């Protein structure tokens, strides 16, 4: 399936993972405060392109560091507020941010990706979301599994070419995905 055959318009929704797609991921640790939050190069320009293509842009992020007691929910909300402020300064609006604060080793939930809770909550808030007219962009298999389970098109962000059968497309960055999509529309 080629990107051109998707016929994406403003009725489509883009779901984005946060760490590793929007901001640099801290390997074997977590982004715990605003000083550790660093946008990946090209994200602003990529989001500008994508905002012009998609009707909705939603961020879905697992944040088990809260459940582990490594940061407070207020810290996460501060990071998200600063991220949205940066995006707004560049004319980029995000329709929603949904996060799972649970540590699966301590409690069961329906929202930790690849479980569907975060995406279903977004659909509850935005009934116009059609998962068959949605793309999920993530850097982990849990993002891809979530998208696959709900019938979304999946985009895997990785500099390394993995042969995941669940992945529809692979790009090195959100920026490269945005450029490829823009050139096909």
Could you tell me the CATH number of the domain that includes residue 22? 3.40.50.1000
For residue 177, being part of any structural domain is answered with yes
Rg of the chain, C-alpha, whole Å:
15
- Residue 103: inside a domain, yes or no? yes
Task: Tell me if 77 is assigned to some domain.
Answer: yes
pLDDT for res 28: 86
Cα–Cα dist 53/50, whole Å: 5
pLDDT value at residue 1: 62
Is 168 labeled as catalytic in the residue annotation? no
* Given the residues 19, 139, 143, 168, the one annotated as active site: 19
Instruction: Kindly state whether residue 2 falls inside one of the protein's structural domains.
Output: no
Query: How far is it, in rounded angstroms, from Cα 92 to Cα 48?
Result: 6
> Does residue 1 belong to any structural domain of this protein?
no
Range of the domain at 36: 7-184
How high is the pLDDT of residue 161?
66
pLDDT of residue 159: 77
- pLDDT at position 163 is 64
Q: Please tell me the distance from the alpha carbon of residue 83 to that of residue 22, in angstroms, as a whole number.
A: 10
Active-site annotation holds for 139:
no
Buried b (16+ CB within 10 A) or exposed e, 8-37: beeebbbbbbbbbbbbebeeeebbbeeeeb
Assess if residue 102 is contained within a domain.
Answer: yes
Domain count, the chain: 1
Q: Judging by beta carbons within 10 Å of its beta carbon (0-12, 13-18, 19+), is residue 112 exposed, middle or buried? A: buried
Predicted pLDDT at 162? 65
Judge whether 89 lies within some domain. yes
Q: What is the mean pLDDT of each run of 10 residues along the chain (185 residues)?
A: 82 98 93 95 98 98 94 96 98 98 91 97 98 97 96 91 78 96 82
What span, in angstroms and rounded, lies between the C-alpha atoms of 105 and 133? 33
Asked whether residue 98 is assigned to any structural domain, the reply reads yes
Q: Residue 137 corresponds to which tokens in the numbers above?
A: 């962009």
């Amino acid at each position: 399936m080629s990107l051109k055959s998707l016929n994406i318009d403003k009725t489509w929704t883009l779901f984005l993972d946060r760490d590793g797609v929007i901001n640099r991921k801290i390997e074997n640790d977590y982004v715990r405060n605003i000083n550790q939050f660093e946008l990946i190069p090209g994200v602003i320009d990529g989001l500008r392109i994508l905002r012009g293509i998609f009707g909705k842009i939603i961020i879905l992020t697992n944040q088990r560091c809260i459940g582990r007691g490594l940061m407070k929910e207020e810290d996460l909300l501060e990071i998200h507020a600063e991220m949205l402020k940066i995006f707004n300064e560049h004319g980029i609006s995000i329709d929603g941010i949904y996060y799972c604060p649970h540590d699966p080793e301590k409690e069961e939930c329906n929202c930790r990706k690849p479980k569907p809770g975060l995406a279903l909550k977004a659909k509850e808030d935005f009934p116009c979301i059609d998962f068959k007219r949605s793309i999920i962009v993530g850097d982990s298999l849990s993002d891809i599994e979530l998208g696959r389970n709900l019938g979304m098109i999946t985009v895997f962000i990785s500099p390394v070419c993995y042969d995941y059968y669940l992945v529809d497309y692979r790009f090195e960055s959100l920026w490269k995905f945005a450029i490829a999509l823009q050139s096909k529309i």
